[in-house]
C-alpha cells in the first residue's frame, strides 16, 4: 500500500519561523520553530537580513524531518508577515536588510506621499491605506535616503514570498501581498503604472501576481541538497498570514469574522461590498488567477508585543502567570487604573505613527496585579474600539472566534468577552496561519475540497461568556479609555484634538 503524501506549511513570522508537517488527511504529524532577532539601527527602525529566514527554515526543517521519509513530501506552502520589503539586485540577491512591516522610519513622509498619490487612479484608496511599513513608503524612503541602493534595485519581494523565491527561483507574489502594498490597482488588478512611474522603478522589478494555490515552481537543487529532499517537491505561491488564518478557521466560507491575537492584533472579515464606510484595508485573495474575492482587515499594532513588553520590563512570564492566577476580574474591573496600549503607533484607527501608551489613575495602593490587569484590559478596549470603528458590532454580537498565541490566555479571553459583550470562541490547534497554508498546500489542486477538510478539523477548544454584572462598569471605563488619546495629545501638543 502506498504511503500517504506529506505536506509542509511554513510561517515566516515577525520573530520566529514556524513549520508544520501534515499528511494527505491533513493530520498534523510534527511541528517545529526557530526564533530570530530583528535589528534596530535607530529608534523606530526595524530590519532583518532576509537570509536569516532562509537559515531559520533550513535549521527548523532539519529537525522536523528527522525520522521522516522525505521522499513522501509532495508540496510546500509558505505564509507569513505582510508588507516587509526585500530589495533584490542584479544577481538576484538582497542588496540591503529587509525593512519590516512595523518599521516607523517613514512616518514624516506619509502625509506628503498621500497628497502626491491622491489624484491617481485608485488614489483615494491608495492614499488611505499607505502607512509606515508599506512597501510604497519604504521604496520612496530608499529613493530619497539611499540613492545608490535604489539605483541597484532590479526587483523586490514582500515578506514571506522572499522565501518562496529562494526555494524556487521564481519571483512571484499573491493578490493579498500585492493589494496591500499601496503599489497595486484594485480596480485594474495589476501593478499601478502611475505608482511605478511615481516611484521610478521599471515594470520588470515587480513580481508576477498569481493565485495563492498556483504552483510557483519546484524546489531548487540548493534545497534538495541541503535537506536531502526529492526534486519532485512543489512549492505553491502562498499567501499572507491573515488570509491563511481565515482559511484555517473556515471563516473564508462561513463568513464569520476572526481575530488573530499575536504580535499585533488583526480583525479580518469577508468584505461583502455592502459596507458604505470602512477603515480597514481591503485585501484581494484568490486561489487561482482572476478569481478574486475581498477581505477586510483592521489592525492594532500593539497587542502581544505590548504584553511581552510588560512582562520583559516589569517581571517575567512565570510572574505573570502567578499574578493572573490571583486576579479577581470582578474586583479589578471596578478599579480606576487605565492603560492605553498603542506603544508602537497606530495604522487603522487613527493613522498615527506617533501614538503611544500611558497609564492613568494610579494611586498609592496600586499594585502589580492592578497594573497587569490594566495592560490586558487596555488591549481589550483597543480591540473593542477597532470592532466599533469597522462597523462590525453586529457581526460579532453573538460570537467572535479568536486564534493566535494570546488566545491561550484564559484571563485575557474572559476579559475580552466581558468588554465586547459577546461569546469568545478559542479554536483548537488547527487554527492559525501555518495550519491554513499547510491545508492549502495539501489541497492546492483540489481547493473545492478545502472547506470540508477544515470543517472536520476545527473544534472549539473553549468558550467564554460575558459577565453581565460587569457591563455597566466596563461601559464607564471604556468611555474614560476613549478620552485618553485626546488627553495625551493635549499633554504633549498643548492643544485639543478636534
Which of residues 213, 239, 265 is at a domain's end? 239
State whether 211 and 283 are in the same domain: no
In a shared domain, residues 103 and 60:
yes
Q: Is residue 245 part of a domain?
A: no
- Structural domain for 444, as ranges: 250-498
Nearest to 163, CA basis, from 8, 28, 5: 8
Q: And the C-alpha cell for 39?
A: 535589528
- Is it the case that residue 398 has pLDDT exceeding 60? yes
How far apart CA 149 and CA 146 sit, in angstroms, is 5
What average pLDDT does the chain have?
92
The pLDDT-based confidence of 498 (bands split at 50, 70, 90) is: low
**DSSP β-bridge partners for residue 283:** 295
Residue 294 phi/psi, 5-degree rounding, is -120, 135
Residue 312 sits in the same domain as residue 207: no
% of the chain exceeding 70 in pLDDT = 97
- What pLDDT, in 10s, does the model give residues 144-186? 999 999 999 999 999 999 999 999 999 999 999 999 999 999 8
Question: Which of 239, 271, 294 lies at the terminal end of a domain, its last residue?
Answer: 239
The model's pLDDT over 233-263, given as tens digits with 9 standing for 90+, comes to 999 999 999 899 999 988 888 888 999 998 8
- 215 with 271, same domain: the answer is no
Asked if the structure places residue 244 within a domain, the reply is no
Q: Which residue has the cell 516607523?
A: 104
Establish if 1 belongs to a structural domain: no
Q: Do 166 and 273 fall within a single domain? A: no
Is it the case that residue 110 has pLDDT exceeding 80? yes
pLDDT digits (tens, 9 = 90+) for 437-482: 999 999 988 888 888 888 888 888 999 999 999 999 999 999 999 9
- Summarised one tens digit per residue, pLDDT across range 117-153 is 999 988 988 998 999 999 999 999 999 999 999 999 9
* Contact by Cβ (8 Å): 433, 244: yes
Same domain, 176 and 316: no
Which of 188, 205, 239 terminates a domain? The answer is 239
Q: Is the pLDDT of residue 388 over 90?
A: yes
On whether residue 97 sits in a domain, the answer given is yes
Q: State yes or no: pLDDT of 106 exceeds 60.
A: yes
Distance, in Å, from the CA atom of 358 to the CA atom of 251, rounded to the nearest integer, reads 35
Percent of the chain with pLDDT over 90: 73
Ramachandran class of 122: left when φ > 0, alpha when ψ lies in -120 to 50, beta otherwise: left
Is the domain of 462 the same as that of 488?
yes
Residue 43 grid coordinates:
529608534
pLDDT at 497 over 80: no
Give the model's pLDDT for residue 442.
93
Query: Which CATH number covers residue 74?
Result: 3.30.420.40
Task: Based on the fold, state whether residues 132 and 261 are members of the same structural domain.
Answer: no
- Residues 106, 61 within the same domain: yes
Q: Is 293 found in the same domain as 265?
A: yes
What was the pLDDT predicted at 239?
97
Res 413: pLDDT: 96
pLDDT, one tens digit per residue, over 200-218 is 999 999 999 999 999 999 9
282 and 378: one domain? yes
- The number of domains in the chain is 2
> Do 180 and 304 share a domain, yes or no?
no
Backbone angles phi, psi at 191, to 5 degrees: -60, 135
Length in residues, the chain: 498
Q: Is residue 75 part of a domain?
A: yes
Let me know the angle formed at the C-alpha of 230 by 226 and 234, rounded to the nearest 5 degrees: 100
**335, 377 Cβ separation under 8 angstroms:** no
CB atoms within 10 A of CB 209: 21
Per residue in 271-311, pLDDT (tens digit) is: 766 555 567 888 899 999 878 888 999 999 899 899 999 98
Amino acid at each position: 500500500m502506498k504511503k500517504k503524501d506529506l505536506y509542509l506549511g511554513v510561517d515566516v513570522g515577525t520573530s520566529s519561523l514556524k513549520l508544520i508537517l501534515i499528511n494527505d488527511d491533513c493530520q498534523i504529524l510534527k511541528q517545529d520553530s526557530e526564533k530570530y532577532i530583528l535589528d534596530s539601527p535607530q529608534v523606530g527602525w526595524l530590519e532583518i537580513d532576509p537570509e536569516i529566514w532562509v537559515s531559520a527554515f533550513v535549521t527548523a526543517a532539519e529537525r522536523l524531518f528527522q525520522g521522516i521519509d522525505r521522499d513522501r513530501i509532495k508540496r510546500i506552502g509558505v505564509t507569513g508577515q505582510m508588507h516587509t520589503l526585500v530589495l533584490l539586485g542584479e544577481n538576484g540577491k538582497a542588496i540591503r536588510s529587509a525593512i519590516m512591516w512595523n518599521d516607523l522610519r517613514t512616518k514624516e513622509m506619509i502625509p506628503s506621499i498621500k497628497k502626491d498619490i491622491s489624484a491617481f487612479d485608485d488614489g483615494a484608496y491608495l492614499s488611505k491605506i499607505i502607512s509606515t511599513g508599506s512597501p510604497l513608503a519604504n521604496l520612496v524612503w530608499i529613493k530619497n535616503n539611499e540613492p545608490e541602493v535604489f539605483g541597484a534595485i532590479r526587483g523586490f519581494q514582500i515578506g514571506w514570498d522572499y522565501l518562496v523565491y529562494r526555494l524556487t527561483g521564481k519571483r512571484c507574489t499573491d493578490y493579498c501581498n500585492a493589494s496591500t502594498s499601496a503599489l497595486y490597482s484594485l480596480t485594474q488588478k495589476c501593478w499601478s503604472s502611475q505608482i511605478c512611474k511615481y516611484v521610478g522603478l521599471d515594470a520588470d522589478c515587480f513580481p508576477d501576481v498569481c493565485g495563492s494555490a498556483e504552483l510557483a515552481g519546484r524546489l531548487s537543487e540548493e534545497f534538495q541538497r541541503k535537506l536531502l529532499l526529492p526534486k519532485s517537491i512543489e512549492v505553491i505561491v502562498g499567501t499572507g498570514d491573515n488570509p491563511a488564518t481565515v482559511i484555517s478557521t473556515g471563516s473564508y466560507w462561513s463568513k464569520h469574522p476572526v481575530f488573530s491575537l499575536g504580535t499585533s492584533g488583526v480583525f479580518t472579515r469577508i468584505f461583502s461590498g455592502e459596507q458604505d464606510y470602512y477603515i480597514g484595508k481591503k485585501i484581494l485573495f484568490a486561489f487561482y488567477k482572476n478569481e478574486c474575492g475581498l477581505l477586510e482587515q483592521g489592525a492594532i499594532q500593539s497587542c502581544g508585543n505590548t504584553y511581552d513588553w510588560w512582562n520583559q520590563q516589569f517581571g517575567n512570564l512565570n510572574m505573570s502567570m502567578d499574578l493572573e492566577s490571583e486576579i479577581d476580574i470582578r474586583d479589578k474591573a471596578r478599579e480606576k487604573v487605565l492603560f492605553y496600549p498603542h506603544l508602537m503607533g497606530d495604522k487603522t484607527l487613527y493613522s498615527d505613527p506617533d501614538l503611544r501608551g500611558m497609564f492613568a489613575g494610579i494611586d498609592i495602593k496600586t499594585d502589580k496585579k492592578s497594573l497587569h490587569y490594566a495592560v490586558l484590559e487596555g488591549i481589550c478596549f483597543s480591540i473593542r474600539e477597532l470592532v466599533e470603528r469597522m462597523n462590525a458590532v453586529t457581526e460579532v454580537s453573538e460570537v467572535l472566534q479568536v486564534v493566535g498565541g494570546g488566545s491561550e490566555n484564559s484571563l485575557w479571553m474572559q476579559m475580552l468577552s466581558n468588554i465586547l459583550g459577546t461569546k469568545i470562541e478559542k479554536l483548537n490547534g488547527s487554527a492559525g496561519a501555518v495550519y491554513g497554508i499547510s491545508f492549502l498546500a495539501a489541497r492546492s489542486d483540489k481547493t473545492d475540497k478545502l472547506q470540508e477538510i477544515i470543517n472536520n478539523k476545527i473544534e472549539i477548544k473553549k468558550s467564554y461568556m460575558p459577565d453581565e454584572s460587569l457591563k455597566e462598569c466596563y461601559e464607564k471605563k471604556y468611555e474614560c479609555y476613549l478620552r485618553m488619546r485626546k488627553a495625551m495629545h493635549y499633554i504633549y501638543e498643548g492643544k485639543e484634538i478636534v
